[in-house]
Structure 1
Amino acid sequence: MSLFRLDASINPAHSVTREIADVAQNAWQDTRPGAPVVRRDLGADPIPSGAWAAATLSGFVPVDEQDADQRAAQALAATLAAELVAAEAYLFAVPLYNYGVSQHFKTWVDLVLADPTFAAGGPRDAIAGRPAVLVTARGGGYGPGTPKEGWDHATPWMVRILADVLGLDVQVSAAELTLAELTPGMESLVDTARQSRDDARESARTQGRSLAERVVGASV
């Protein structure tokens, strides 16, 4: 029973999403010792920005007329899709950047959806119903009543893609105010930020165990 883990932070040495996802992964491995974890690190190894366009446009070109970039993009899309299909559970660690989704994660999603396995109009049940955890981190506060309420345009989109498009059974673990200790003017929010991070770690621990339990339950 394998876990597919995807990271999208561009700052691995200080990444909150990686830290919290590590907690979830450790809980998974404690519950399922020896179960493999397949990693894809989009921060260290980003998807080429032109791959989606090449893969998508190749569908309008006869096979014998496709160029090397189009064939390579199709092959990469097939690899990404195969990684998803081969796993039984999923862990996505994706931060909020500039009020929106990480460009690395968006490029990955676009290319996955360019493969026939997940393309619009194709079969949509390749991984439907499988359990997933989405770990995200936000430098500021975006909850009800905050000045930036409604400015998080990433989390709802990611849940929409993972749950409604790919059909995964998604749980979310989120930490807020992660820049409070580094940003002048946010000193009063440091304690709240630490509590949010602690809560996210505990949530991730619970969800990591749940991933393993839901996989076992689905296979019975």
Structure 2
Amino acid sequence: MLIITIKQGKEKGLLAGDPLIYASAVEKVDGKPQERNKLGTTAIVQSSSRRFLARAAYNAKSQIVARVWTLREDEPVDHAMMKRRVQAAVAARGDAWRAADPQALFLLVDGDRDGLPGLLVHSYGGAAGYLVCQFNAAGVELWKVTIVQALIAATGCANVFERSDELVRKGEGLPVFWRALAGEEPPQRLMVKDGGRVVPMDIRTGFVYPK
């Protein structure tokens, strides 16, 4: 496993709850070359005095070199964690999601707030509709299959589409995709409630059609 050593004094933000570790805060990264080159691989983060600080997803191609998964030394980063966090995110918004206007894009998973840094999931049409996912960081990209399976299980929605934020993913050194990950791809044009109006939109890209 990789070990990221933080410069003396730079651990304060991390301990205060900031989940992002920038390249400027890192003293050194120890580990095998194949691990260092694997985007999203789990690393142990330690202080300059070698005290455990966190487990994080490492990305050598980004200025945000690591995103924290957990501050608990006894919590492994594994399939069970991903499933647990997806389930918790859906459960926390479940009542609101089920009561939401089916024409609205409902934010179901909200990245750092849900312990899934870089992941955004919007729902359209409830359980019978579509989940539109943005994997904007290497850690959630690495766990994509597990996350999609957990989303389907937690929501009962069989249609999952990946919508890339091109600028963000390129900045993370990740390939850009717009594709169905499970089930059917959304239609090119749907009517979407945006505030107090309903507009024609391609939810696969976020493009709003002119009226």
What is the TM-score with the length of structure 1 in the denominator?
0.27
> Which of the two has greater strand per residue?
2
* Structure having greater relative contact order (Cα 8 Å, sep ≥ 6): 1
> Which of the two has greater helix per residue?
1
What is the TM-score with the length of structure 2 in the denominator?
0.28
